[in-house]
Amino acid sequence: MGEICVVIEHRKGEIRDITFEMLFKARELCRAFSHRLTALVLAGKDSGLANGLAKWADRVVVFEDDRLETFNADLYKDILNRVIQEDRPFMTLMGHTSWGMDLAPALSVKTGLPLATDCVDIQAKDGRPMVVRQIYSGKLFSRVSFKESPGYLITVRPGAFLPPDAEAGSEGEVVNQDMPADLAEPRTTFVEFVDTGAGEIDITQADLLVSIGRGVGEEENIATIRELADRMGATLSCSRPVVDKNWLPKFHQVGTSGKSVRPKVYLALGISGAFQHVAGITGAGTVIAVNKDRKAPIFRVADYGVADDLFKVADALKEKLAGA
């Protein structure tokens, strides 16, 4: 029986959502191929993470050591390489996250196994995986296949596979492993975490968010949208490009490297809908998108859409509210 390995991602003592998403998808694949599902935990001593995972996998392999408490590319790469060489899993899944982006490509070279990143779907064809991933900033999708290999590495897009809340599960066995004795000294040392999202306004608490993206064009146009937000009693937020240009401070940013928000209504103005942004609004009640481009990806995920110039709509909203 083959094996599918899922590398568990955690931070500050908590397992991150991507882990469960991967385990859910991997379980589906394991059922299809009669493979065994193994969860790989690399964590700090006495992390306690393994316990929560037992019902999600057939086997939970645990490496616990102080050196592994925070992600370290060299150590994780070394250990995972050994596991893969020994167990020869069919597929190894990692999250396409900051961790995954640092780990997976290096692991691919070290193990000599092929890799596809940021995948939004995984299937198998003729005994090999076939993945679907986005290209050209999300405007198009591609189906990618692999060269025949003893194993395959895949990083998974966070939020691509949404597991149901409860997992009727397995009773996985937990296997504690010893750290290899001959691990090389890591070349990176963790210093500290810094929370850049802290700021005067907490956009995660807002009921109504008016969010701006590249479509706003110039910094001075933000003022007119701010007026709209004020008139609506809404909080202003934005997508990444606005913060990159220093038009708004980071605590306004919605998205994977910003905040996840869950307002009752999210009004996206001039936001194209790049995945990294959309990932931050999955919890929103209703998403209303305004974008000049009818083909903008945001319209795939929004509940309501307006294909028009955002300033026209903003002005009209202000007028209606002033009159009402």
Partner 1 sequence: MIIPYRASYWSIVSVWIFYVLAALAVAVFVFGVISHVSVWSRGARRQGMGFSGQGVFNLFLDGLLGRRIFRGDVAAGTMHFLILWGFLGLFVGTVLISADYWVYPFLKGAVYIGYSLCLELFGLMLTIGLVWALIRRYLQRVTRLERRIQDLMVPVWLLVVVLSGFLVEGVRLSSQRPEWGAWSFIGHGISLFWSDPRAVLSVYPYIWWSHAILSLGLVAAIPFCKLFHVLAAPVNIYLEGQPDLPIPAETATADEETFSTRQMIFFDACTRCGRCVEVCPSTGAGESFSPREFIAAVREDLLLRHDPLKSLDWFARWSDSRKTEKPDLDPQMVWHCTSCRACLEVCPVYVATPKVIERARSRVVEDGTQVPPLLSQTLEKLYKYNNPWEASKKNRAKWSQDLEIPDLTKTGEEDALCYFVGCTTALDTRAQDLARSFAWILTHAGVPFGTLGKNEPCCGDIARRVGEDGLFEEQMESCLALFERNNIRRVVTSSPHCFHTFRNEYPTCQALRPPDEKVHFDVRHYTQVIGELVSEGSIRFEKRLNIKVTYHDPCYLGRHNRIYDAPRKVIRSIPGIELVEMSHNRANSLCCGGGGGRMWQQDLDSKIKMSEIRVREAADTGAEIVITACPLCLIMLEDARKTASLEDTLRVMDLNELVVMALGLQSESEE
Partner 2 sequence: MDVIVCVKQVPEVIDADLKINREATGIEKEDLVMHINDWDNYAVEEAVCIKEAQGGTVTAITIGDDESEDVLRRALAMGADKAIRIDPGERELDSFVISKILAKVIKDLEYDLVLTGVQADDDNSGMVGIMLAEELGLSHAAVVTGVQPEGDAATIRMELEGGLDEIAKIKLPSLLTVQTGINDPRYVSIMGIRKARNKELAVVELEDLGIHEDHLTPMTWIEEVFIPPETTGAEMIEGDAASVAAQLIKIMKEKGVNI
Q: Residue 101 or residue 174: which is nearer to partner 2 going by CB? A: 101
Q: Residue 195 or residue 220: which is nearer to partner 1 going by CB? A: 220
Q: Is 218 in the site for partner 1 (CB under 8 A)?
A: yes
Element (H, E) at 109: helix 98-111
CB of 271 to partner 1, least distance (A): 17
CB under 5 to 8 A by kind: which of partner 1, partner 2, none does 166 bind?
none
DSSP state letter for 253 = B
Q: Is 218 in the site for partner 2 (CB under 8 A)?
A: no
Binding test (CB under 8 A) with partner 1, winner from 12, 220, 323, 324: 220
Q: Residue 192 or residue 220: which is nearer to partner 1 going by CB? A: 220
Q: Do 234 and 212 touch, CB atoms closer than 8 A?
A: no
Which residue, 89, 119, 61, 60, is CA-closest to 2?
89
Looking at 19-27, 31-39, 52-60, 134-142, which segment touches partner 2 (CB under 8 A)? 134-142
DSSP state letter for 25 = H
Q: Residue 165 or residue 218: which is nearer to partner 1 going by CB? A: 218
CA-angle at 76, arms to 75 and 78, nearest 5°: 65
Question: What single-letter amino acid sits at 113?
Answer: L
CB under 5 to 8 A by kind: which of partner 2, partner 1, none does 220 bind?
partner 1
By rule CB under 8 A, what string of x and - marks binding of each residue 224-243 to partner 2? --------xxx-----x--x
Binding test (CB under 8 A) with partner 2, winner from 65, 208, 226, 247: 208
Q: Is 85 in the site for partner 2 (CB under 8 A)?
A: no
CA–CA separation, 13 vs 209, rounded Å?
A: 31
Please, is 56 exposed, middle or buried when counting C-beta atoms within 10 Å of its C-beta (0-12, 13-18, 19+)? buried
Q: Is 105 in the site for partner 2 (CB under 8 A)?
A: yes
Q: Is 322 in the site for partner 2 (CB under 8 A)?
A: no
Q: Residue 13 or residue 141: which is nearer to partner 2 going by CB? A: 141
Q: Is 136 in the site for partner 1 (CB under 8 A)?
A: no
DSSP state letter for 294 = T
Backbone CA torsion sign across 196, 198, 204, 208: negative
CB of 309 to partner 1, least distance (A): 9
Q: Is 323 in the site for partner 1 (CB under 8 A)?
A: no
Phi-psi region of 154 (alpha: psi -120 to 50; beta: other; left: phi over 0): beta
Q: Is 88 in the site for partner 2 (CB under 8 A)?
A: no
* Tokens of residue 140, six digits: 């198009």
Looking at 195-203, 218-226, 249-257, 293-301, which segment touches partner 1 (CB under 8 A)? 218-226
Q: Is 183 in the site for partner 2 (CB under 8 A)?
A: no
- Strand-pairing partners, residue 269, are 212, 290
Q: Residue 82 or residue 214: which is nearer to partner 1 going by CB? A: 214
Q: Is 188 in the site for partner 2 (CB under 8 A)?
A: yes
* Tokens of residue 219, six digits: 């910094």
CA-angle at 186, arms to 149 and 64, nearest 5°: 80
Task: Report the 10 Å Cβ neighbour count for 17.
Answer: 15
CB of 163 to partner 1, least distance (A): 40
CA–CA separation, 98 vs 155, rounded Å?
A: 11
